[in-house]
Structure 1
C-alpha cells in the first residue's frame, strides 16, 4: 500500500486520534468520556418479517429518544438480505436514513453500527459521511467493519478472503479524503490528484470506531482506530464483564500515545415489567431477558470494565418499544447520564 498525504507524515496520516482531537465534535463528546458509560438505542425497534409497515412510527420514537436524552441512535449497514443470515437491519440505506433522522432530531449522536468499508469505495463512503456530518451539525460517529456476510462479497465482485487488507486501505483512503487540505492519494483503490474532496467535515475528524477485529491484529486497532466496538461476551452474569475488562485493558495498553480511546458494546434486550427479573439468556445468549435492576447492574459492570457506551436493541422484546424506551429514560439513564458536550454546529441550510 502506498498512500501519501500532502499535509501530514505518511506514517501518521491515518492513525487513530485521542479524545483531544474530538474536543469540538458534538457526536463524540455526547457519547464518550473516560470512566463513564452512556446509553444508546439500536434500530430497528422491531424486526422486519416481510412487511415494511413494521417500521411505521419509528421516526417519531427516534424523536422521543432524542428528547429523552439518550446519547446515540444506531443504524446498520446491510446491503442485501440473506434469509439464511436472518437479519435485514433497518432496511433503509444507513446514510440516507441518518440524514432523514438528523432532520427529526437535535442532539442525539447518529451512529453507524457498522458501515462496511470493504464493500463501498472510500470516495462514496466519505461523500455520504461528510454529508450527514454537515446536515446533522457534526453528530455522526462511524462504527466501521470489514463485513461478515458471505453473499454480499461476490455480489460486489470483491474477494471476501482479502477483505482485511482492503479494509485497512479503505480506512487510510477515507481519512485522507476528509482531512483538511487537498488530498494526494496513490492507492490500490484509486488515485486522487489535482482535485479536492468536498464537503469537508465540520470538525477535523470523523470518528472511526473499528468493529471487532475487522481482520486486523489488535496492535493495528490500537494504532489506527479512534475507538473499538466489540461484542460484550456473556451478559447474564459477571463472568462476561470480567473477561471484557481484560480485553479492553489489553487493547488500551497497546495504544501508542496512551491517550483515551472509547470502547463500545451492545446487547439485544427483552426488558420485562418486573424490575427484579433476573438476567436470563435467550436465543443461545443472543438476547438478554431482564428487569431494569439487572440491566442497571450489567451496565455498571460494563462501566467498571472500561466500556464507554452501550447500544441497546429491543427488536426481540415482547413489550412495545415505546414502553421500553420510556422506562429506560426514567429509570436507567439517571444512572448513566449522557455527556453534555458542545451543541451541534448547525447551519440554516
Structure 2
C-alpha cells in the first residue's frame, strides 16, 4: 500500500449503501474477489456499531472484524483495512484478539485504521462518556501496543491491569499498522509520535486548492515525526464516477461527494500524489452506474497509472 512519493488505490466498502434492505450487500464478496484479482492495493470496511438515522448512513452493516475474516478467505493479496475501528468503544484486549486473529487468517494482510468515534448515540449505549473519548483513545492505543508487542505484557492502565498472563496470538509479521483517522482528539505531535500512518479528510476535491491545503497539513505532520522516517498518509473520497471521461470535477452534497469522469479523477489523484498522499481509498456508494462497471473502469484506466506496490507474499494461511 505504501511507499514514499507513490500513491496506491483502495476501494471502500460497502459498494452500495444500506437503504432498508440487506440484499444491497448480496454479491459484494464476489466483487471484492475481483478487486483482489485486478490488483487494487486494499479494501476498506467501516465500523458503525449502531445506526443513527439522524446522523448518517449505516456503514458496512456487518461487524468489520467478522466480515474481514470472511473476505480474507475470498481474497489472496489485497490488504484488508478498517476505516476505522472505534478504539474507544471496545476493550483493547477484544480489539487485539480480533485484529491478530484476522492478521493470521489473512497471512498478515490486516491494516488497522482506528478512530475515537463521532456518533453521539453510541457512547451512552456503551456506558462511556463521549467527552473523555480522546483520553480513552490514547490509553487504548497504548494498551493495544503493549498487548501485541513481543514478550509477556505488564500493563497498568485506567482500562485495566495485566500481570502474569500473556496475550496470544501476536501479530503475524511482528506488528499490525495502526492508522489514525483524523485527529481522534489528539494533537499532531501525538499523531507523529504514535501513529504508523495518518488518514485525513481530503479537503476540497473539485479544485486544485484543496490538494494544496492538504499538502500543507501533511508537511506539518511529517515535520513532527521524531526520527524523520517515512510514515504514510491516506485520504478518501466518495465518487459519482460517470461514463463521460471528460465530465468536470463537480462537488455534490456540499462537497461530500465528487462527481467526475475518469480524467478528472486522474487529475485529482495526481494532485494528491504531489501533495504527499500515499494511498487513496475510493468509495463508489453514491455512483449511479453499476459497481462492477466502475470497478472495471478503475482497473483498466486508473490503476495502471497508480499501481499497487510489490510486497512480500502473504504468510501461510493453512489453519
Q: Give the TM bin, normalised by the shorter chain.
A: over 0.9
Deviation by residue 1:163-192 (Cα, 9 ceiling, x = unmatched): 001000000000100111111101110011
Cross-structure match for 1:152: 122
Superposed CA RMSD in Å reads 0.5
Q: What is the CA-CA distance between 1:86 and the residue it aligns to?
A: 2.1
Deviation by residue 1:100-155 (Cα, 9 ceiling, x = unmatched): 00000000000000000000000000000000000000000011000000000000
Deviation by residue 1:300-329 (Cα, 9 ceiling, x = unmatched): 000000000000001110000000000000
Cross-structure match for 2:60: 90
- Give the Cα–Cα distance (whole angstroms) in 2 for the partners of residues 346 and 171 of structure 1: 28
Greater RCO, 1 or 2 (C-alpha within 8 Å, sep 6+): 1
Cross-structure match for 1:28: none
Cross-structure match for 2:149: 179
Please say if residues 197 and 231 of structure 2, whose CA atoms lie closer than 8 Å, have aligned partners that are also in contact: yes
- Give the Cα–Cα distance (whole angstroms) in 1 for the partners of residues 281 and 317 of structure 2: 29
Please say if residues 106 and 317 of structure 2, whose CA atoms lie closer than 8 Å, have aligned partners that are also in contact: no
- Give the Cα–Cα distance (whole angstroms) in 2 for the partners of residues 347 and 320 of structure 1: 33
Gaps of 5+ in 1: 1-30
Q: 1:145-224 residue pairs with structure 2 within 5 A?
A: 145-224=115-194
Gaps of 5+ in 2: none
Q: What is the CA-CA distance between 1:346 and the residue it aligns to?
A: 1.8
Cross-structure match for 1:35: 5
- Give the Cα–Cα distance (whole angstroms) in 2 for the partners of residues 101 and 229 of structure 1: 22
Cross-structure match for 1:109: 79
Cross-structure match for 2:39: 69
Q: Normalising by the residue count of structure 2, what TM-score does the alignment of the two structures yield?
A: 1.00
Partner SS, residue 265 of structure 1: strand
Residue number among 261, 268, 291 corresponding to 1:321 in the alignment? 291
Q: What is the CA-CA distance between 1:203 and the residue it aligns to?
A: 1.3
- Give the Cα–Cα distance (whole angstroms) in 1 for the partners of residues 16 and 250 of structure 2: 21
Deviation by residue 1:46-93 (Cα, 9 ceiling, x = unmatched): 010000000010000000000000000000000000000121111000
- Give the Cα–Cα distance (whole angstroms) in 2 for the partners of residues 346 and 231 of structure 1: 35
Residue number among 208, 211, 232 corresponding to 1:241 in the alignment? 211
Q: What is the CA-CA distance between 1:347 and the residue it aligns to?
A: 2.9
